[in-house]
Amino acid sequence: MNQTGQRVLAIVNPAAGGGKCGKLAPLALAKLRSAGLAVDVVETASAGDATLAARAGYEQGIRNFIAVGGDGTSYEIVNGLFPSAKMGSRATLGFLPLGTGNSFLRDFTKEGLAHATQAILEAKRRPCDVMQLTYEGGVLYYINMLSLGFTADVAALVNRRFKPLGEVGYLLGVLTRLLQLRRGVFPLRVDAESQFDTARSLFLAFTNSKFTGGRMMMAPNAATDSGQIEYVRWGPIGRLGAIFNLHTLFDGSHLKHPLASRRSALRIEFRLDRPVDIVVDGEVLTLQPKVLEVLPAALDVMA
């Protein structure tokens, strides 16, 4: 990358990882510069800043970006690049994983920062699908995972009440939602099917990569360049069943449960009558999904 003279924009979220990113980012960026890579840096101060910075950079002709933070930082950057990068020249996204989850990179490595740094310096490029969700009032894009149901309920509760407590807060969120266990109906239709599925579910996940929440292997069959959506569903499992099987989400063996299923899809059509909580690439949103589609190999990633 440095040999071509192309501009590189690193977008840093200093608050990622509970503030860890702000402390570690200067050294990580210095390592790139010492290897000869010319990097411009923008720091974010609030939610949405990374999206604005990526959009402005793309409009200025920059095509190489580095997300310095966690999955949420990458998510914001992707939403700054698209839809422009869908219609214009390709963009490339690298990562300095200094956030909390950093789930997306686990599809490629367990070495985290060391691997990601080397991938940037070697200008490695892999084609990556981008998921496009049209919802009531807008469109969003993601490269990791979107889920609703129990997983989103937990994430929403933690985000609103327990986030300052870190891992303890997440555990409190899981326990609270288990006590309040809801198995909702999320009517949807896959590809060209004639009927909408209205069965009750603990959760639904629509993924582009295997991991979520850091080490949770929600979709062991997913591939970031498959050209398809990996759709994972866990049916109306009971409270005790959920408790005894939650650990299986960390190694992907939850798919062996008789109430679990997975399939590949090109298009998901929703028929929800109201907004619901979703969690997408670590971000909690409340919206009314309409259509989910895949943009095959729409982005290059350095990983």
Please give the pLDDT value at position 195. 94
Is the pLDDT score of 287 beyond 80? yes
Fold of 142-297: Tumour Suppressor Smad4 (2.60.200)
Place 2 in a pLDDT band, splitting at 50, 70 and 90: very low
Please give the pLDDT value at position 167. 67
Does the N-terminal peptide bond of residue 296 adopt cis geometry, omega within 30 degrees of 0? no
Please state the rounded mean pLDDT for residues 193-204: 95
Please give the pLDDT value at position 101. 75
Higher pLDDT, 129 or 282: 129
Please give the pLDDT value at position 262. 97
pLDDT tens digits along 52-81: 999 999 999 999 999 999 999 999 999 999
pLDDT tens digits along 242-251: 889 988 988 9
Cα 15 to Cα 44: distance, rounded to the nearest angstrom: 9
Share of the chain above pLDDT 70, in %: 97
pLDDT tens digits along 115-160: 999 999 999 999 999 999 999 999 999 999 999 999 899 888 887 8
Is the pLDDT score of 48 beyond 90? yes
Element (H, E) at 23: helix 20-34
Please give the pLDDT value at position 261. 96
Place 212 in a pLDDT band, splitting at 50, 70 and 90: confident
- Whole-angstrom CA distances from 182 to 187, 199, 250 are 16, 13, 22
**Among 171, 148, 139, 108, CA closest to 280:** 148
Fold of 8-124: Rossmann fold (3.40.50)
Please give the pLDDT value at position 149. 94
The overall longest dimension of the chain from CA atoms, in Å, is 58
Domain with CATH 2.60.200.40 in the chain: 142-297
Domain with CATH 3.40.50.10330 in the chain: 8-124
Site of tokens 């009517």 = 187
Average pLDDT, the chain: 92
Task: Decide: 100 and 44 in contact? Cβ < 8 Å.
Answer: no
Please give the pLDDT value at position 162. 82
What phi and psi values does residue 165 have, to the nearest 5 degrees?
-90, 0
Please give the pLDDT value at position 7. 82
From the CA atom positions of the chain, what is the Rg in Å?
A: 19
